[in-house]
Structure 1
Amino acid sequence: MTSHQFHSPATPDLDAPRYAEIATFLRAPLATDLRDVDLGLVGIPYDGGLTNRSGARHGPREVRNQSSLTRKYHHVSRTNPFDLCRIADLGDVPMTRALSVEGAHDDISAFYDLVHAAKIIPLSVGGDHSVTYPIFRSIARERKIGMVHIDAHMDLWDEFQGSKFSHGSPFRRAIEDGLLDPKRVVQIGIRGAQNNKSGWQYAEDHGVTVIFIEEVNEIGVEKVLEKARAVVGEGEAYLSFDIDSVDPVFAPGTGTPEIGGITTIQAQALIRGLDGLNLIGADLVEISPPFDQTGGTSLVGASLLYEIACILSNGIAKRKCALNDLMQTAS
């Protein structure tokens, strides 16, 4: 008879059957504190900034469920992100003022202040896209950063229904607050009609690089990546991925679907092609399980979360190696 010892559910066994163990992002261990974590996976169960179909508040929980299907080794790079750095699920942002957009954003910023102080690279799952703005208030307050933004929408509105903090406004607010350098922002996959031209005009006036879906299809992913890397440069940058960038054929579970989007293969290629950028964080937002009858959208989200974790962990490992080399040279 095999003898068994107690195995803490806070440290899932990545080799266990995929239907077993407590569901965490990418089957990562649950953090008990913020020590000894390089890459922190965070859920933001908030969708009070939505302008249409609600439900993204349930995104983090369902992406954790679908994360049970993820595995360790990437089939292209043959690397395991868990071998490259210390990854942990930090749980969900504690919400104390969820019925107030500004209050909820303060809750989010307060949590990311702790994450930033602990020098953890955050990889977040929303939630609606308004959550990126309070993340920026924490991790970008010392200097302006660049951004690769993959989305169907520009999210550069000024206001909606009297609010300046909807999911259509985060990057306009971040630019106004000096958190985001518009000339180092590239938006990929933008499409869909608008009720006014203000977002497009704001991008033109402030030097935001916009790659509409028609250009993506015309020049291909490789050329898009060349353009994106040239815009962002070597400075610190952030990746924000809205699931509605993916065509609703593949990802119908979202609040503002737009036909004619990128495929899941293009999404994977875009993320992989950002490897090597100086990324200080990333998020995946707008997954809405109530509109995702088969769970397919959340599976797409979990799979893309893994892709993002791979490039972030590789960047962390390279920075650690460079720092060690520098310290050895100095000594």
Structure 2
Amino acid sequence: MGAPFDTGVTARPGARFGPGGIRQGSRRIAADAAWDIYTGENVFLDWAKIVDCGDAPLTFLDNTVALKQLDAAHKIASGRSTSTRKYPTPRIVTLGGDHTTTLSALRSTYRNWGQVSVIHFDSHIDTWDPKVLGGGISHYAGVNHGTFLHLAHEEGLIRNTSIHAGIRAPVMRPKGDVRNDIRCGFDMVKARDIDRIGVSGITGKLKRRVAGSRVYISVDIDVLDPAFAPATGTAEVGGWTTRELLSILDGLRGLEVIGADVVEVAPIYDNPGETTLLAAAEVVHSLLGLIVHNPVNSG
């Protein structure tokens, strides 16, 4: 489901066009020719029925109204009956939109499954206190793509067994932001950790952190280095390659993934080769695989 929303950004806008851009990047992924060279599986021809619900109809003129509309869209989509009695509740992969949209997705997963552990791929922590990021100007200003995880914690949507992956951006308060991040239930894997412990070390740490819980995976495309994903609102140098990210995602097989998203794709900043759009579409492909092949579904 698309979430065309980008009025919660603190840098470059444009992610409202992300859902269409990701779909455009997926044109080369044909359902009858998408056999994974590594696993020999085709997620589109497995047991699950995968449906594109289109974009949620959101206003661009009022953040508070738009997020209520997105809450409603998630409630409607997740309230549909599936054709599989064993798994009656649809599992949604959201195409963003800026990262604020994940708050609506987490509200939806909480309503259907209770608290979840979040694996948050990003260059930024996104647990900033709204009083710090938003300036305390208004409640409206405090709900944004850098505070949504703080708000999710305050609303009781997520477990204290969540974790960031790929973090490298500076914080605003050297001690206070990290303390608040821990209070919000997050551990952290930094981008350069991959140089020391490798892909398997990263996946091992992520899986140990969320073990025994239902998992929501949120991928901000800026977890990738701008060389691999220039089309994003708040790019940070020193990130992972597309191959590294895909390998890490593949390494998360075995988790009970009940929802996911790919956000902060702003097509206007991409190059003619559609580098970011292709990467984002492939990440969505990987996330679908995690959902379809998780142990609850395969059992």
- TM beyond 0.5: yes
Aligned pairs for 1:284-323 (under 5 A) are 284-294=262-272, 295-315=274-294, 318-322=295-299
With over 3 angstroms needed to count, the CA separation of the structure-2 counterparts of 1:113 and 1:200, relative to structure 1, is: same
Corresponding residue for residue 233 of structure 2? 255
Which one has the largest radius of gyration?
Answer: 1
Mapped to 1, the partners of 2:75 and 2:18 lie a distance apart of: 23
Corresponding residue for residue 75 of structure 1? 37
Post-superposition CA distance 1:26-67 (Å, at most 9, x none): xxxxxxxxxxxxxxxx11111011111000011111111111
Mapped to 1, the partners of 2:183 and 2:66 lie a distance apart of: 30
Percent identity for Structure 1 against Structure 2: 31
Structure 1 residue ranges without an equivalent (≥5): 1-41, 323-331
Mapped to 1, the partners of 2:178 and 2:199 lie a distance apart of: 22
The answer as to 2:165 corresponding to 1:184 is no
Mapped to 1, the partners of 2:298 and 2:37 lie a distance apart of: 24
Post-superposition CA distance 1:266-294 (Å, at most 9, x none): 11011101111011100000011111122
Which structure has more relative contact order (CA 8 Å, sep 6+)? It is: 2
Mapped to 2, the partners of 1:69 and 1:207 lie a distance apart of: 39
The answer as to 2:31 corresponding to 1:54 is no
Mapped to 1, the partners of 2:244 and 2:97 lie a distance apart of: 23
2:255 aligned to which of 270, 273, 277: 277
Aligned pairs for 1:131-280 (under 5 A) are 131-141=101-111, 143-159=114-130, 160-161=134-135, 162=137, 163-181=141-159, 183-197=160-174, 198-280=176-258
More off after superposition, 212-221 vs 299-308: 212-221
2:97 aligned to which of 127, 132, 135: 127
Post-superposition CA distance 1:240-297 (Å, at most 9, x none): 0000000001111100000000111111011101111011100000011111122211
8 Å CA contact 1:126–1:287 kept in 2: the answer is: yes
Structure 2 residue ranges without an equivalent (≥5): 81-88
Q: Secondary structure at the match of 2:293?
A: helix
8 Å CA contact 1:136–1:179 kept in 2: the answer is: yes
Q: Secondary structure at the match of 1:180?
A: coil
Mapped to 1, the partners of 2:298 and 2:173 lie a distance apart of: 49
Q: Secondary structure at the match of 1:91?
A: coil
More off after superposition, 204-213 vs 294-303: 204-213
8 Å CA contact 1:66–1:299 kept in 2: the answer is: yes
Matched residue type, 1:262: W
C-alpha displacement of 1:320: 4.4
2:52 aligned to which of 89, 100, 113: 89
Mapped to 2, the partners of 1:176 and 1:204 lie a distance apart of: 13
Mapped to 1, the partners of 2:195 and 2:144 lie a distance apart of: 29
Corresponding residue for residue 106 of structure 1? 68
8 Å CA contact 2:150–2:184 kept in 1: the answer is: no
Mapped to 1, the partners of 2:283 and 2:170 lie a distance apart of: 26
C-alpha displacement of 1:207: 4.2
With over 3 angstroms needed to count, the CA separation of the structure-2 counterparts of 1:48 and 1:278, relative to structure 1, is: same
Corresponding residue for residue 85 of structure 2? none
Mapped to 2, the partners of 1:109 and 1:90 lie a distance apart of: 15
Mapped to 2, the partners of 1:52 and 1:227 lie a distance apart of: 31
With over 3 angstroms needed to count, the CA separation of the structure-2 counterparts of 1:321 and 1:247, relative to structure 1, is: closer
